[in-house]
Amino acid sequence: MALMFQGFQGNGKSVCQQDDVCQHKLVTYAIVLMPYFILIANERSFTFQTALPSILLMMLAFVFFKDARRYTFHALIVMIGFTTIIGASNFLTVLKDDYLITSRTLIRAFMFMIIVWFYGTAISQKFSQKDILIILKGVSYSVLVPFYLEFKEYLKQGMYFGRVYPVTLRGCQLDANYFALLVLVQIVCSYIIAIYSARISDKILSWICILLGTVSIILTGSRSALMCMALIIVVSAFIYFIQKNNGKIKNLIFFVLCIAILFLVASKFMSGWMFDRFFNNSYHDDSNEQRVSYWINAIHRWPHRLFLGYGVGNYNYFFAKDRGLIGDPNVTTHGTITDFLVDFGIVGLFLFLYIIIDCVRILLKTHNYVLVAMLPGIIICSVIIGAERTVALWLWIIVFRILAEYLRKNPSQSLSDILA
């Protein structure tokens, strides 16, 4: 954290030698520290409120530095758009079903507005090359945290060869798919460094992070995450090696060697039961059937609030009613796309797709095809779970958007230049 406050040591002319340096440090560390707070998560999906210290850092930047209150056109569309949808959908709910509006509803709505504000503030900053490096390495090395949580449970259970659910320091058991989605984001940042860094030490550390992340995913038994990880590594490697790049031979040697090690380590931690789960068992099982039934239920309900949805959290009531459940369950549609549909309607879903598509558009325009090749794997993994309020989903959106914006504003620089 010392880097954050370097600007406060000066010649007395000002509290901070350069306001923009202090501002960027606050914002940069607000982003970097997010995945580390999984250590203290107290809910299974690692939602955004767990990263409260990061939110506070972003608020400090917003309050004390005027540049942190300047937003890009893209950020304004997202923030104003979702705020308007939340207000309008809840207003309609008050008119039709006022009993649905509770303190819990308002808290959920407020939390989602915090999320889009955090996103808008993060992506609107003019990051330096050093900031980008800190973000990529910080997220990459954060894979040590979920690996610790997963491996300690693996050892605690006597090296159990079944699904091992990680448990946080607060005693909360994390959902395997949400946990694996975060690990997937960390693996992607490690992979970017492994491919583009010219430093041997960085390549070795990044491949070690990928290795630890792979072990974590295998132990959770998350089939979607393992499939998506393989998709990301294979497709992006193919795109990289068919392009004209310097250092191909070095990367090819690292790639072949490290993939061989990954297979050896995977065989160590993948029991016969786990191998069958990943590669032999049918995906037509109770878990996936339940997920599909939740999606169908959401699609049937969605046309009743076609354009603006039910408002954040209000669909839970109808989900419970349709399923014959008592109370207000946390699991509703079990999918990010369907969650956006029922919470924000078709307008909100289009706004979310706008975030993704606009990022892809910039990356394509700047010819960063390897980064584009990494996105489908993460998108697939996030779609099959309701990740719209999680740290993992918004972290990868923020990281990729920051990379896209930096590469657009610095056309003479490449990822190799950033990581040199």
Query: Which whole-number Å values give the CA distances from 103 to 87, 100, 109, 161, in the listed order?
Result: 15, 10, 10, 43
Contact 371, 363 (CB under 8 A): yes
- pLDDT of residue 39 exceeding 80, the answer is yes
228 located within any domain: no
Residues 6+ apart with CB under 8 A from 274: 161, 162, 218, 221
Q: How far apart are CA 261 and CA 214, in angstroms?
A: 11
Q: How confident is the model at residue 379 (pLDDT cuts 50, 70, 90)?
A: confident
- Give the phi and the psi of residue 173 in degrees, each rounded to 5: -80, 125
Nearest 5 degrees, angle CA 341-CA 343-CA 346?
35
330 located within any domain: yes
* C-alpha 164 chain-centroid distance: 22
pLDDT at 8 (0 to 100): 37
Name the nearest CA neighbour of 418 among 130, 32, 127: 130
Contact 237, 191 (CB under 8 A): no
335 located within any domain: yes
- pLDDT of residue 11 exceeding 50, the answer is no
- pLDDT of residue 97 exceeding 80, the answer is no
pLDDT (mean) for 277-297: 72
What CA dihedral angle connects 344, 348, 349 and 353, to 10 degrees? -150
- pLDDT of residue 85 exceeding 70, the answer is yes
Q: Among 332-341, 359-368, 390-399, name the one with the lowest average pLDDT.
A: 332-341
pLDDT (mean) for 285-301: 80
Residue whose token pair is 């309609």: 92
User: Over the stretch 112-130, which tens digit does the pLDDT of each residue have?
Assistant: 999 999 999 999 998 999 9
Alpha helices in 1-51 (DSSP H): 19-32
Q: How far apart are CA 124 and CA 401, in angstroms?
A: 10
317 located within any domain: yes
Q: Please report, rounded to a whole number, the percentage of residues in the chain having pLDDT higher than 90.
A: 48
pLDDT (mean) for 29-58: 94
Residue whose token pair is 């392009």: 243
pTM: 0.89
pLDDT at 15 (0 to 100): 47
- pLDDT of residue 382 exceeding 70, the answer is yes
Q: How far apart are CA 142 and CA 157, in angstroms?
A: 24
Contact 322, 113 (CB under 8 A): no
User: Over the stretch 231-269, which tens digit does the pLDDT of each residue have?
Assistant: 899 999 999 888 877 667 888 888 888 888 888 877 777
Report which residue type is found at 41: A
pLDDT at 222 (0 to 100): 84
Beta bridge partner(s), residue 167 = 173
360 located within any domain: yes
DSSP secondary structure string for all residues of 229-276 = HHHHHHHHHHHHHHS--TTHHHHHHHHHHHHHHHHHHHHHH--HHHHI
DSSP secondary structure string for all residues of 140-164 = HHTTHHHHHHHHHHHHHTTS-SS--
Name the nearest CA neighbour of 400 among 58, 77, 123: 123
Q: What three-state secondary structure class fits 345?
A: helix
Domain total of the chain: 1
145 located within any domain: no
- Give the phi and the psi of residue 47 in degrees, each rounded to 5: -80, 170
351 located within any domain: yes
Q: What three-state secondary structure class fits 377?
A: helix
397 located within any domain: yes
Tokens representing 60? 């400090």
Name the nearest CA neighbour of 374 among 387, 359, 386, 389: 359
pLDDT at 257 (0 to 100): 87
pLDDT at 14 (0 to 100): 47
Q: What three-state secondary structure class fits 163?
A: coil
- pLDDT of residue 390 exceeding 60, the answer is yes
- pLDDT of residue 17 exceeding 60, the answer is no
Name the nearest CA neighbour of 194 among 181, 178, 210, 183: 210
- Structural domain for 319, as ranges: 90-100+293-411
Contact 271, 292 (CB under 8 A): no
CA-CA-CA-CA torsion sign (279, 284, 287, 293): positive
Residues 6+ apart with CB under 8 A from 25: 3, 4, 5, 6, 7
Q: 21-30, 242-251, 291-300, 367-376 — which one is most confidently predicted on average?
A: 367-376
pLDDT at 119 (0 to 100): 97
Q: Look over the chain and give the mean of its residue pLDDT values, rounded to a whole number.
A: 86
